[in-house]
Every structure is written in structure tokens, then in C-alpha cells.
Structure 1
Amino acid sequence: MPGMLTGKKTQRYSVEFKVKAVEWSHQAHRSVKGVAEALDIHPFMLSRWRKEHREGKFAMKRVKKAPVEANEKIKKQDEITRLKRQISELQEENEILKKFQRFQAEERRKRSDSSGNTDTSTE
């Protein structure tokens, strides 16, 4: 009895593609999930490739070119990461400035209260 055919095709990736994906995922500012999304593969597959690389199952070759779409996605992702970091820094600076403004307002209130203007009745 022949096996059931589901119509699904298993995507085959070249060794060069796997090597480049592993190299990208090892860069400090990139995550496995981010690289996997950019390459349109499942993060578990990339993790498996990383494990196979550690075990020496495929030779590490230097790949000259990566798929153009993947490069564009990686660049966009890097830009998004940079912008998110910048937003976070600006929000932190904004909070510091708000605290400083509150501090200055409090200091002004203290000075005006101690200046001798305690008589509030005008009659």
C-alpha cells in the first residue's frame, strides 16, 4: 500500500543558504527569531541549523551573496531595532525632563511660600 500523499512539498535549502542564516543569527544585534522572520523560515528550523553547524554537519563556507529579499528584510529589521532603541532613549530622556520640571516647580513653590506672603486675606 503506497504512503499517503498530502500534496505538500518540503522546501529544500542549499547549504550556502543555511550557512548564511546561521552566520546572521550569530551576530550580536540579531536574534534567531528576527533572522528567521526575515528569511521566512520557522525559528525552530534555524535553531536546528545552528545545532547542526555546532556539530559540524555541514561545512562552513563563506557565501558571497545572500538573497536580495533577505538582505532587504534584514536591513529593515536592523533599522526598526535601531529606531526602537532610539525611541526608548528619547522616552527615558523625556521622563527625566518631566521629573526635572516637577522638581523646579516644587522649588519655586517652596521659595514663594517662604518669601513672607502668608497673608492671604485682603479685607
Structure 2
Amino acid sequence: MPAIITGKKTQRYSTEFKVKAVEWSHQAHRSVQGVAEALDIHPFMLSRWRKEYREGKFAMKRVKKAPAEAKEKVREQDEVTRLKRRIAELEEENDVLKKFQRFQAEERRKRSGSSGNTGNDTA
């Protein structure tokens, strides 16, 4: 009678793979859930790797320059987004002011035309 084999085979991931996954998940436009789904791993596993990475448990050298560059890039993107939003607000204000200016000019024309001057002055 064959022996019953129980238990799951666990997948072993290299430290390099874990570090790349963690770095990928730290990108501003990515979520842990999305990265885990793309790599076909459980999100909890990726979260655990992120924690281990923060604690320095991976024996790979971390480049300290990359996070600073990433933060600067995120700051720049936020600034660009803020400026685009401000430009849109100013353009809308400008449009409103132009409409108001046209309205005032039209009102002045109506008032000057209805002031009693018919143009039939006989001098």
C-alpha cells in the first residue's frame, strides 16, 4: 500500500526576487494587492517581505539613493498635479470674468440706447 503524502509543497523564493517584489510594491502608483496579484503570491506574504525588508533581514545591499529619488519624483508629480488643478481653476475664473465683462458691456449698450435719445434731433 502506497504511503499517503500530506502537506503542501511550499514555493521558495530567492532573496533577489523578494527584494524586487518589495521595491516594486513601494512604487507610488502600485498597491500591495496589485503587485501580489501580478506575481501570483498572497498579499500577506508580500506584506511580510516588506516588513522583513524594513527590518533589514534581507542580506542584500539596499541603495539609499533610490527612495530619495522616488520621493522627489512623487513630490514633483504632486506639484505638477497641483499646478494643473490651479491652472484649470484660473481658466474657469477667467471664463467667468470674460462672460461678466460681456454682460456689463451689453447692459451699458441697452442703457445708452434706452436713455431717450432717438437720434431725431432737429437743431
TM-score, structure 2 as length reference? 0.58
| Counterpart for residue 35 of structure 1 | none
- Check 1:104–1:14 CA distance in 2 against 1; reply closer, same or farther (3 A cut): same
Q: Which moved more, 1:55-64 or 1:108-117?
A: 55-64
Shift in Å at residue 115 of structure 1? 0.4
Structure 2 gaps, min length 5: 1-16, 55-63
Name the % identity.
48
TM-score, structure 1 as length reference? 0.58
Residue from 49, 53, 68 that aligns with 2:35: 49
Is the contact between residue 24 and residue 35 of structure 2 (CA under 8 Å) also seen in structure 1? yes
| Counterpart for residue 74 of structure 2 | 74
Structure 1 gaps, min length 5: 1-11, 28-47
Q: In the alignment, does 2:46 pair up with 1:59?
A: yes
Structure number with larger C-alpha Rg: 2
Name which structure has the greater RCO, CA cutoff 8 Å, separation 6+: 1
Q: RMSD between aligned alpha carbons?
A: 3.2
Any residues of structure 2 matched to 1:1-123 within 5 Å, and which? 14-21=20-27, 24-25=28-29, 49=35, 51-52=37-38, 56=42, 59-60=46-47, 61=50, 67-119=67-119
Give the secondary-structure state (helix, strand or coil) at the position aligned to 2:115.
Answer: coil
